[in-house]
Amino acid sequence: MVLHAATAALDWVMDKSLVLGYTKIGPTVRRAWWPHDPVPGALVGRHVLVTGASGGLGLATARGLARLGAVVHITGRDASRLDDARSRLLEEQPLAEVTSHVADVSDLAATAEFARRFVVDVPRLHAVVHNAGVMPPTRTVTPEGHELALATHVLGPHVLTLGLRESLGGGGRVVLVTSGGAYAQRLEANDPDYTQGTYSGTAAYARTKRMQLVLAPLWARELAGDDITVASMHPGWADTPGVTESLPGFARVTGPLLRNAEQGADTAVWLTATGDPIGSGGFWHDRRRRSTHYAPVRVETPGEVERFWAFVCETTGVPTPRG
Ligand SMILES: NC(=O)c1ccc[n+]([C@@H]2O[C@H](COP(=O)([O-])OP(=O)(O)OC[C@H]3O[C@@H](n4cnc5c(N)ncnc54)[C@H](OP(=O)(O)O)[C@@H]3O)[C@@H](O)[C@H]2O)c1
Do 59 and 268 contact (CB within 8 A), yes or no?
Answer: no
How many whole angstroms from 276 Cα to the centroid of ligand 1?
27
- Give the Cα separation of 102 and 122 in Å (integer): 16
Helix-strand-coil split of the chain, %, nearest 5: 50, 10, 40
Do 142 and 202 contact (CB within 8 A), yes or no?
Answer: no
**Sorting pLDDT into bands at 50, 70 and 90, what band is 197?**
very high
Domain membership of residue 267 (yes or no) is yes
How many whole angstroms from 221 Cα to the centroid of ligand 1?
26
Task: Give the closest residue (by CA) to ligand 1 atom 42.
Answer: 52
* Res. 322: pLDDT tops 70: no
How many whole angstroms from 65 Cα to the centroid of ligand 1?
17
Q: How many domains does the chain have?
A: 1
Phi and psi of 36, rounded to 5°? -60, 160
Domain membership of residue 4 (yes or no) is no
Cβ neighbours for 322, distance < 8 A, ≥ 6 positions apart? none
The predicted pLDDT at position 212 comes to: 98
Residues 67-70: contacts with CB within 8 Å, 24+ apart? Answer: 67/93, 68/38, 68/40, 68/41, 68/42, 68/43, 68/44, 68/269, 68/273, 69/41, 69/42, 69/43, 69/44, 69/45, 70/43, 70/44, 70/46, 70/126, 70/272, 70/273
How many whole angstroms from 253 Cα to the centroid of ligand 1?
21
* Res. 120: pLDDT tops 80: yes
Beta-carbon-side half-sphere exposure of residue 304 (alpha carbons within 13 Å): 14
**Residue 212: which CATH number?**
3.40.50.720
The predicted pLDDT at position 1 comes to: 67
Q: How far is CA 103 from CA 55, 57, 127, 165, in A?
A: 15, 17, 17, 18
Domain membership of residue 138 (yes or no) is yes
Mind giving me the DSSP string for 87-120? HHHHHH-TT-EEEEEE--TT-HHHHHHHHHHHHH
pLDDT 10s digits, 234-251? 999 999 999 998 899 998
Please give the DSSP secondary-structure letter assigned to residue 284.
E
Domain membership of residue 1 (yes or no) is no
Task: Give the closest residue (by CA) to ligand 1 atom 6.
Answer: 179
The predicted pLDDT at position 320 comes to: 76
Q: Average pLDDT, stretch 263-273? A: 98
In the predicted model, what is the mean pLDDT of the chain?
A: 96
Task: Give the closest residue (by CA) to ligand 1 atom 15.
Answer: 242
Q: Average pLDDT, stretch 188-200? A: 95
Domain membership of residue 10 (yes or no) is no
Task: List the one residue out of 43, 100, 97 whose CA is nearest residue 71.
Answer: 97
pLDDT 10s digits, 274-319? 999 999 999 999 999 999 999 988 999 999 999 999 999 999 999 9
Domain membership of residue 37 (yes or no) is no
The predicted pLDDT at position 171 comes to: 98
How many whole angstroms from 185 Cα to the centroid of ligand 1?
20
Which residues are catalytic, by number? 205
Task: Give the closest residue (by CA) to ligand 1 atom 45.
Answer: 133
Task: List the one residue out of 67, 144, 76 whose CA is nearest residue 107.
Answer: 144
Task: Give the closest residue (by CA) to ligand 1 atom 41.
Answer: 77
- Give the Cα separation of 30 and 270 in Å (integer): 14
The predicted pLDDT at position 125 comes to: 98
Task: Give the closest residue (by CA) to ligand 1 atom 19.
Answer: 242
Name the residue range of residue 251's domain. 44-316
Ligand 1 pocket test target in 131, 211, 213, 244 with most atoms within 8 Å of CB: 131
Domain membership of residue 153 (yes or no) is yes
Beta-carbon-side half-sphere exposure of residue 293 (alpha carbons within 13 Å): 11
Its sign, for the CA torsion 242, 308, 289, 131, is negative
- Residues at CB less than 6 angstroms from ligand 1: 51-58, 75-78, 81, 104-106, 131-134, 152, 177, 179, 234-235, 237-238, 240-243, 264
- Give the Cα separation of 181 and 236 in Å (integer): 9
pLDDT 10s digits, 21-56? 999 999 999 999 999 999 999 999 999 999 999 999
Ligand 1: which atom is nearest the Cα of residue 107?
31
Q: Where are the beta strands (DSSP E) in 8-137?
A: 47-50, 71-76, 97-102, 127-130
Q: How far is CA 273 from CA 36, 60, 62, 322, in A?
A: 11, 15, 12, 33
The continuous run of DSSP H or E covering 209 comes out as helix 201-223
Task: Report the alpha-carbon angle 294-222-195, nearest 5.
Answer: 60
How many whole angstroms from 128 Cα to the centroid of ligand 1?
15
Domain membership of residue 39 (yes or no) is no
Ligand 1 pocket test target in 23, 77, 153 with most atoms within 8 Å of CB: 77
The predicted pLDDT at position 323 comes to: 58
Ligand 1 pocket test target in 233, 243, 250, 257 with most atoms within 8 Å of CB: 243
